[in-house]
Structure 1
């Protein structure tokens, strides 16, 4: 049985966007083929193995699609993909699309239990996983769990190493006769990919996207950042398997005919070297990655590079100090991207405006209805959305060409986050000013509850990021027997001298932040841990705070 991936957006809206040209109204593989035919030898992928052109990539795609078809994968089936950034991940993306099947990518490094949960709930019939990557043996781990996954009949092992017994070798499938395969022509408004959201649910949310929502809605986002109309060359520091990384194969390649520059594992040195060697037009990463690159550059690792068109930063809040330094070092605009797997996108564009200025929160730019229309609703208004008064803070809701179909196997999430007419409740707090600018203020659910009072970590992080001794900061709640929770600031120092808790408190007082919102714990770390999706790992930081030593974890006086 194939999992139900229904569309919660009115069909008339989807068709209107296709008819007026907002969405291309073609499936992802057909879009890719059109790009390949138009420029046979354009570079598609640059990775550790070198350059791969559009035509060579297409041959691999057809071989893999034919091989998967021979293993019983059919249109509408869900296929999991757990591969590092590289050509194999791109081949898998396009082969699944060519079959008319639905890709479920998730980053390497996710544990076997979480991977099994994703595959089980999505009723995946096959999974393509790394034989070995940085000590993880994902293919073998997933083979061991097949007894718990009744729909899963095939595990494909990719990359270096000997495939585990019972797995099909990815390399063998690439030797299938490509002429034996005829591509499917799925409905462009049908499901093409499932994005995995690292939200606040007990299990990661899965969100189904159509071909048009990816290539159309998300494609229009990237189009707005292509200043000269030439195909982009995108250095993806985030995993292609993340929600942010979904702008890779479906958008940069299939929609815009560009090139992907890929690192199988992020390091600041490798990212700077790729910037110098491959001359990307766009660099896409999370703030922590950009800060790590800036640190290595400041420490002397300074390869000469041509300034890109833009550095696009998303996944977590971007502070003004990092944005200013990145503009200076990279010599280009720094785009603050507000977006999520749930179907919201807004960004500051290629201008040079401030991230803060007058007003609360962080500037996220002007919403683009060709991507996602954004409104501000009164929190808790249900079942119909009630728009908040102009200029007031409320819940950000979104609906537009990039709006996903539904949550996967989660009717409770559909009921909680989607309205009858297709709007998505983001759980984020924001406001839209008189000039139409969206500002992000915080999260409805991401709060620390101290003695019954709610504190927004995002608000505190924004102010702490302006401290001269703070390079990077994440605030988390830690359990406390008296107050329920207390706020902990997890800080990466800017230099050799780390700030004290008293330093931080004095700074926040000077910034006008009331005393009850000041952090009461301090954890100083060399660098912030990242999740497999490339975001700061708040859960690990909470654990570190809970077991911190007196030298690294200080009580407020």
Structure 2
């Protein structure tokens, strides 16, 4: 990394293209008018294939159905489902009527679901009946009585969902146009929950302007046009799927390809081959799983040109294989956070492999980034580590109904403080060097140990628990719980701890390793030394 220490660690993204000033619905209408007969959406799981004209009709049908249910601008509509065509219809339909779509993580258990339903004040919940081992319908019934604002439940394939579609068919398009005329690009239309350090997640609230422009900008840097076909095996409930995937596609007239409801390496490559995809998304663990398939060489991936790898750092060998064996010569690394819609920095199509594995690229168009001293807030010289901050159109409106938490994250100058430690070189490339707090990134999922620790504290045999991230080849990081047992109890095994957590917390937050100790390493002031625990964990696990 070349460094000119006389320069401050600040960069702003220039662009010849202006920001988009419309709502998501208006932007979609423009794409439909330009490319009515091109493929908009292919859902491999259900076999559905829609042109932009057909896609627009389905979106309008759901939008009119929601209006018929009494959903008004600003009302919160929750969606709890894996990837499928209907998820995308709901995404665009809620935006068309100015309702706020609340993404619910498919891995949530009942207490997380109940919290989100109440915190966001969700009045209408759209959900899949089940997925894998999760009985969504059963879990919703379990918490429904504790969620006073929830008045409508629409299960995909159920009678209430079918009635909504039938009502949409009878709805008046003039009513929809009238509602749409009252919307502003700055209206909130999406809430995405990010793990909270104090046990419960915070709802990052995003506007049309935030996510439409971020999706468009990411697509521009990938060189998207209407001939691109994007395989999206990453979840829609996260910005990666619904913004970098769906909105990047629809703002360019490209096609969204859903390989299946959840990630499966063979299904993803099968979709690329069958649909002639030009772009493929994933976290490094997904690409590793695809490359490891015994019959990998039998897939025809010759149409691939680009894609996005994000969520955690990419090992250099994996990047080389993605470029050489998958043909993704223009693959891009993106960095960001839900609170910034999400992408702040991105590698460019002509960046070297070295740049793509050692940095997270340069600042995106119309955005600013700086690296500051975490204590003083002063911008540090290039080459000096500090906290990465972002400012611009992408910064969220705030955390839903949590003005105090919003003020902690966004300062008076409208800079979003990421909590990530980073360093900037003289060309403006940013490298992430660590995290100020102890967040763990497992397979692209941000996990805050505090939430897991609070759950472990409810175990009758545990005196205390601390959770740290340890390096893992497959997921980037795994979780290890350090526990202190109550007197006279048997030491807790990893399996027993996992059994205790199962059903109480999302599966990706369940620790893989357990280490029983008498005392935690402490600082002189009585703070637990997680850095020392991580070092010790690495030694213990070899």
TM > 0.5 fold call: yes
Alignment partner of 2:325: what SS?
A: helix
Matched, 1:219 2:216: yes
Alignment partner of 1:392: what SS?
A: coil
Matched with 1:487 is: none
**Within 2, Cα distance between the matches of 1:217 and 1:554?**
42
Matched, 1:328 2:319: no
Matched with 1:507 is: none
Superposed displacement of residue 476, structure 1: 4.0
**Within 2, Cα distance between the matches of 1:471 and 1:143?**
36
Report the RMSD for the aligned CA atoms in angstroms.
3.2
Pairing partner for 1:275 from 248, 263, 272: 272
Deviation readout 1:496-548 (Å, 9 max, x if unpaired): xxxxxxxxxxxxxxxxxxxxxxxxxx99xxxxxxx9xxxx97632x244459x
Question: Structure 1 pair 336/220, CA: closer, same or farther in 2 (3 Å)?
Answer: same
Pairing partner for 2:406 from 414, 423, 434: 414
> Are the counterparts in 1 of residues 230 and 257 from structure 2 also a CA contact under 8 Å?
yes
Pairing partner for 1:308 from 290, 297, 304: 304
Question: Structure 1 pair 234/198, CA: closer, same or farther in 2 (3 Å)?
Answer: farther
Pairing partner for 1:172 from 163, 175, 184: 163
Output aligned runs, 1:72-83, within 5 Å.
72-83=70-81
Deviation readout 1:20-76 (Å, 9 max, x if unpaired): 963211111111111112222221111122311122222222222222112111011
Pairing partner for 2:373 from 378, 388, 395: 378
Question: Structure 1 pair 198/232, CA: closer, same or farther in 2 (3 Å)?
Answer: farther
Pairing partner for 1:539 from 491, 509, 519: 509
Superposed displacement of residue 237, structure 1: 1.2
Matched, 1:264 2:261: yes
> Are the counterparts in 2 of residues 90 and 249 from structure 1 also a CA contact under 8 Å?
no
In structure 2, stretches of 5+ residues that fail to align are: 1-12, 441-448, 450-466, 486-493, 496-502, 517-537
> Are the counterparts in 2 of residues 476 and 538 from structure 1 also a CA contact under 8 Å?
no
Output aligned runs, 1:447-462, within 5 Å.
461=471
Question: Structure 1 pair 77/231, CA: closer, same or farther in 2 (3 Å)?
Answer: farther
Superposed displacement of residue 80, structure 1: 0.5
Pairing partner for 1:240 from 231, 236, 254: 236
Superposed displacement of residue 194, structure 1: 1.4
Matched with 1:497 is: none
> Are the counterparts in 1 of residues 478 and 512 from structure 2 also a CA contact under 8 Å?
no
Superposed displacement of residue 306, structure 1: 2.0
Deviation readout 1:270-301 (Å, 9 max, x if unpaired): 011011111222111111111100101x5556
Matched, 1:192 2:189: yes
**Within 2, Cα distance between the matches of 1:152 and 1:222?**
36
In structure 1, stretches of 5+ residues that fail to align are: 1-16, 450-454, 465-469, 483-521, 524-530, 548-552
**Within 1, Cα distance between the matches of 2:468 and 2:65?**
50
> Are the counterparts in 1 of residues 91 and 101 from structure 2 also a CA contact under 8 Å?
yes
Matched, 1:353 2:349: no
Matched with 2:284 is: 287
Superposed displacement of residue 253, structure 1: 4.0
Output aligned runs, 1:404-553, within 5 Å.
404-446=396-438, 461=471, 473-479=476-482, 539-540=509-510, 542-546=511-515
**Within 1, Cα distance between the matches of 2:264 and 2:390?**
34
Deviates more, 1:439-448 or 1:406-415: 439-448
Superposed displacement of residue 211, structure 1: 0.6
Alignment partner of 1:280: what SS?
A: coil
Question: Structure 1 pair 400/138, CA: closer, same or farther in 2 (3 Å)?
Answer: same
Matched with 1:506 is: none
Deviates more, 1:199-208 or 1:121-130: 199-208
Q: Which TM-score applies when normalising by structure 1? A: 0.75
**Within 1, Cα distance between the matches of 2:274 and 2:515?**
43
> Are the counterparts in 1 of residues 107 and 507 from structure 2 also a CA contact under 8 Å?
no
**Within 1, Cα distance between the matches of 2:291 and 2:94?**
37
**Within 1, Cα distance between the matches of 2:296 and 2:430?**
38
**Within 2, Cα distance between the matches of 1:480 and 1:241?**
33
Matched, 1:402 2:399: no
Alignment partner of 1:29: what SS?
A: helix
Higher relative contact order (CA 8 A, sep 6+): 2
Matched, 1:182 2:176: yes
Q: Which TM-score applies when normalising by structure 2? A: 0.77
Pairing partner for 1:205 from 199, 202, 205: 202
**Within 2, Cα distance between the matches of 1:284 and 1:556?**
31
Question: Structure 1 pair 146/217, CA: closer, same or farther in 2 (3 Å)?
Answer: same
Superposed displacement of residue 103, structure 1: 0.9
Deviation readout 1:314-333 (Å, 9 max, x if unpaired): 11222212111111111123
Superposed displacement of residue 107, structure 1: 3.2
Output aligned runs, 1:45-56, within 5 Å.
45-47=41-43, 48=45, 49-56=47-54
> Are the counterparts in 2 of residues 287 and 314 from structure 1 also a CA contact under 8 Å?
yes
Matched with 2:39 is: 43
**Within 1, Cα distance between the matches of 2:475 and 2:68?**
50
**Within 1, Cα distance between the matches of 2:275 and 2:227?**
14
Alignment partner of 1:214: what SS?
A: helix
